[in-house]
Amino acid sequence: MSQWPSVAAIADDVRSGRSKAADLVEKSLKTIEDNDDYKAIIALTADRARERAQTIDSKIAAGEQVGRLAGVPFIAKDNFLTFGSETTAASNILKGFNAPYQATAINRLEAEGAICVAKANLDAFAHGSSTENSDYFTTKNPNDKTRVPGGSSGGSAAAVVLDMVPFALGTDTGGSIRLPASFCGAVGYKPTYGLVSRSGVVAMASSTDVIGPLTRTVEDTALVLDVMSGKDELDGTTTDKDQTGYEIADADLKGVKIGMIKEYMGEGLDPGVKKQIELAVEKIKKAGAQIREVSLPSLPLALGVYYIICPAEVSSNLSRYDGQRYGYNDADAKDLLESYNKARSTGFNRENKRRIMIGTYVLSSGYYDAYYKRAQIVRTKLINEFKTAFDEVDFLIGPTAPSTAFKIGENVEDPLQMYLTDIMTVAVNLAGVPAISIPAGMSEGLPVGLQVIAAQRQDKKLLNTANKIEEQLS
C-alpha cells in the first residue's frame, strides 16, 4: 500500500488546508534520502521545490486559487529540461548543463501546482532497457536489488514504486515507460504520438519519442495526462487533446471486444509471465469482455525495423553534441577536428556510439535503400495491420515484456539480448498508437505487466477501459 493517496486527493487536501505543500515536499525528499541505495535519483531540485511549496501555501492562506495538482510532488526523468538542477540525460557529455528554459510538460504541470523535487536516472540519452547504460550508476529494482528496473525510464519507475513521489515523468521511444513499469510494478502510459509536447525534452528518435507518466494507478495517470496534453506552438507534431479531457469516466467491460495478440503469446515468452497474463485475461473475460485471438503478421519484424529507424534518427539527433556550444569540451584539443573527436569519444558511452554507428551506416549511400527505406515500408505495413486489427476489436492486449526483470549485468555484454527485451513494445511506437502497462500479478516475486493497446487518438477510451481492467486485477 502506497504512503500516498491519489494525486487528486493530495491536491484536494492541499487546497482545503488539510495538508501543506511544504510538508509534502519534505516528505518526498526524506523518502528519496531513505532510499538512496536504490540509485533512482541523479539530482535533487530541493531549493526550488521548497520555494514553490511556500508560494502555493501562501496563495492558499490568502484565499487565492491554485491548480488541480496543487502541492503534488513529482520527479522528472533527467532528459526533461528543468530549472533547479542540471539536465544531463545521464550522459557525461551533458554534465554541467543548466537548461535555459523548461520543457512544456514541466511548465504545464507547474501551472497546475505540481512541484518537481528531483531528476531521475536513465540510460544515457535513453539508449537502453535497463538503466545500466547510465553514465552515473545503475538503478536497482525496488522488488529485488540484484535486478534491473527496466529502462530507459528505470529511475522514474523505481521512484514511484519506492513511494518517493505519487507520479514521475518518463519518455517512451520503444517501450521506455512501459517496460520499467512492467519490471517494477507501476502503471506506465505511452500516449498517442504527438499528444504531449516534446519541446524541452532531449531527443532520441523524433518519430517515435513520446512523453508519459508513471504512477500507482490508472486514475492518477489520466489526471496527469490531462494536464500535460494538447497542442503546443513549440512542437509542430502536437495534436489537439480530447475536448472532454482524459480524467476517468464511467466505463464497462461488458461487450468490449479485446484481441489477444497471437505473436506475443508464443515462443520466447517466459512461462511465469504467460501464466499471469492468461489469469488476467480470464478475469477480464469474467467481467464481460469478449476475448479473441488476433494476429498482426508483421509483428516479428517490428524489432528489426525499430533498430534501423531508431539508430538512424539517433545518429542525426546526437550530431548536435560536438563540444562547441554546450556540453563536454576538451580544453587541450589542438584544432576543431580534434575538439570534435575528443568531445564525442569521451562524452558518449559505448551504447551511444553503437547506435550512432548503426544509424550512420543505414543512412549512408548504398545502404539507405537496402535498410532504411525498406524499414519504412515495413513500418507502413505494420501501421496498416494495426488499423485492420482495430476494425475488428476495440483493444489489443498481451504481455508488456517477454520476461520479468533480469539480473544486473546479465545482458550487458549481449546487445542483441538486451534489444530483445523491447520486442513487445516497439511496434506501438512505430505505429504511433497509445498503450498502457498495468501490473498483472507476480511471477517468482517479480512484477508482470499487462499491455493494453488502442487505436490512434483513442487515449480516453483506453484509459477508461484500463481503469476497469485494473479494478479486475487488483
The residues assigned a catalytic role are 77, 152, 176
Q: What is the DSSP letter of 412?
A: T
d(CA 154, CA 179): 9
- Map residue 301 onto helix, strand or coil: helix
* Overall size of the chain counted in residues: 474
Grid coordinates standing for 170?
518518463
**Alpha helices, DSSP H only, in 247-393?**
271-286, 299-317, 336-347, 350-363, 374-392
d(CA 179, CA 448): 10
DSSP string across 212-258: EEEESSHHHHHHHHHHHBS-BTTBTT--PPPTT-SS------TT-EE
Dmax over CA atoms of the chain, in Å, equals 71
d(CA 437, CA 428): 12
d(CA 75, CA 93): 22
